[in-house]
Structure 1
């Protein structure tokens, strides 16, 4: 389907449907089993028109496995979840188990990964706070073999039922999506911007909203590492805006009577597209 929202916003990149399925699409892009990769690389390819698929052996990285909904894959991080807690915070260089793991990684892993492993990415202040973050993540195990990223325009709604829809949005488009998300509601806090990995804000954090009353949209890509990973694909100006499919349909139905057809938006959109 061609989204009314996408057409009204004149978006540069495709909205992406996230689908749970037991059927692997033909010619889907995939990571090789056991090879590291950023889930957001394949999201960027889907935003540019390709289909991508993941399973429990090809989710790219540990945070990606969690984000896609393949359970707590942080347990498979080198040294286990505890070493990940140090990795995301102040590093493993003063943690005895972590130092032993790092020594084994020296000739096996990329130099930049080993350096981050020892010194820490420093995205959270302490390992204890990372554990608090992980305890609060809505980790889940999806009931299907595959999680698929597919350009929304290529979805066959008779055969496929997307769980969430992800808009790759520039700042003006993001502002418009926030306004539209609140347009038909009786409450006006219908968009959240939680901290988490880029893949987690289009995956499990958005899946959680499927069961929320009311459903809310999730803004993502505050993840510095993910932004670095996709800048060559989508540029430096993109955030994600993810909505459960039911909320997406609600927003679609409101386009024709909304601000999106009024002079203020049309003027802003025309200027931003030059």
Structure 2
């Protein structure tokens, strides 16, 4: 499977496909069961030509399990979903149940997580804001055993991508925003939500695929995800994720679009 858009834009990294499967691919990168890992580590590996696979025991972190579509894994967070509400916001140090949980989290390699657990990541103001954030996520438990990330070029004829993600710089992002609206009569065809990096390539894009006019989802605005991949990818990149139906729409609109006109050519010349 190929992308004319990716070729014309001159993407540095390969487009990454996310698909569901009941068959586990061979020689794919996978986290060990129960071990922490960021989904975006594996996403970066796929952008560089590898395959990665996730199961309900190997999704890496609670947000990653949610983002990939393995149900509400925030329920499995230490202390449960309530402690997660404090973790993402103001911290558990003044929340008595959370303080008790923190006493059992100490150990080698846990220092940073324990600090965030007690002091909070502070991405949202308070636990009520986090509760609303989780409530509004399109959490789903997918009807498949595995989620697979792979380069677009490695997709087989019998495989059906759920999402396709480009890694883009500001100029390339601008082109994609324009192309997403090329055949539409609306101007809100791209969204940039507050969400984890894995959620923008996963459940948020799954949800867009169900719309009559699906939107693209811009991601890698997640500060934690950016920190995790900063040694693996360029620093000026964002992700641009499309459900398959939008990807096909945009690919079909390439030939008559601005991509062959002088303004765009001057941007890449």
Matches of 1:116 and 1:159, distance apart in 2: 43
**Which residue of structure 2 aligns with residue 211 of structure 1?**
210
**Unpaired runs of at least 5, structure 1:** none
**Which residue of structure 2 aligns with residue 183 of structure 1?**
182
Aligned positions of 1:134-213 closer than 5 A: 134-156=134-156, 158-213=157-212
Q: CA deviation at 1:186?
A: 1.7
Show structure 1 runs of 4+ deviating over 2 A: none
**Unpaired runs of at least 5, structure 2:** none
Matches of 1:247 and 1:107, distance apart in 2: 46
Aligned positions of 1:69-148 closer than 5 A: 69-107=69-107, 110-148=110-148
Matches of 1:39 and 1:27, distance apart in 2: 17
Report how many residues are paired.
269
**Which residue of structure 1 aligns with residue 35 of structure 2?**
35
Query: Do residues 56 (structure 1) and 21 (structure 2) align?
Result: no
| Cα-Cα RMSD | 0.9
Matches of 2:112 and 2:262, distance apart in 1: 49
Matches of 2:190 and 2:164, distance apart in 1: 14
* Structure with more helix by fraction: 1
**Which residue of structure 2 aligns with residue 251 of structure 1?**
250
Matches of 1:129 and 1:161, distance apart in 2: 36
- 3-state DSSP of counterpart to 1:167: strand
- 3-state DSSP of counterpart to 1:75: helix
Query: Do residues 11 (structure 1) and 11 (structure 2) align?
Result: yes
After superposition, the C-alpha distances for 1:122-180 in whole angstroms (9 at most, x for unaligned) are: 00000011001001000000100000001001111x21000111111111111111000
After superposition, the C-alpha distances for 1:176-230 in whole angstroms (9 at most, x for unaligned) are: 1100000111222111111100000110011001111211111111100000101
**Which residue of structure 2 aligns with residue 2 of structure 1?**
2
TM-score (normalizing by structure 1):
0.96
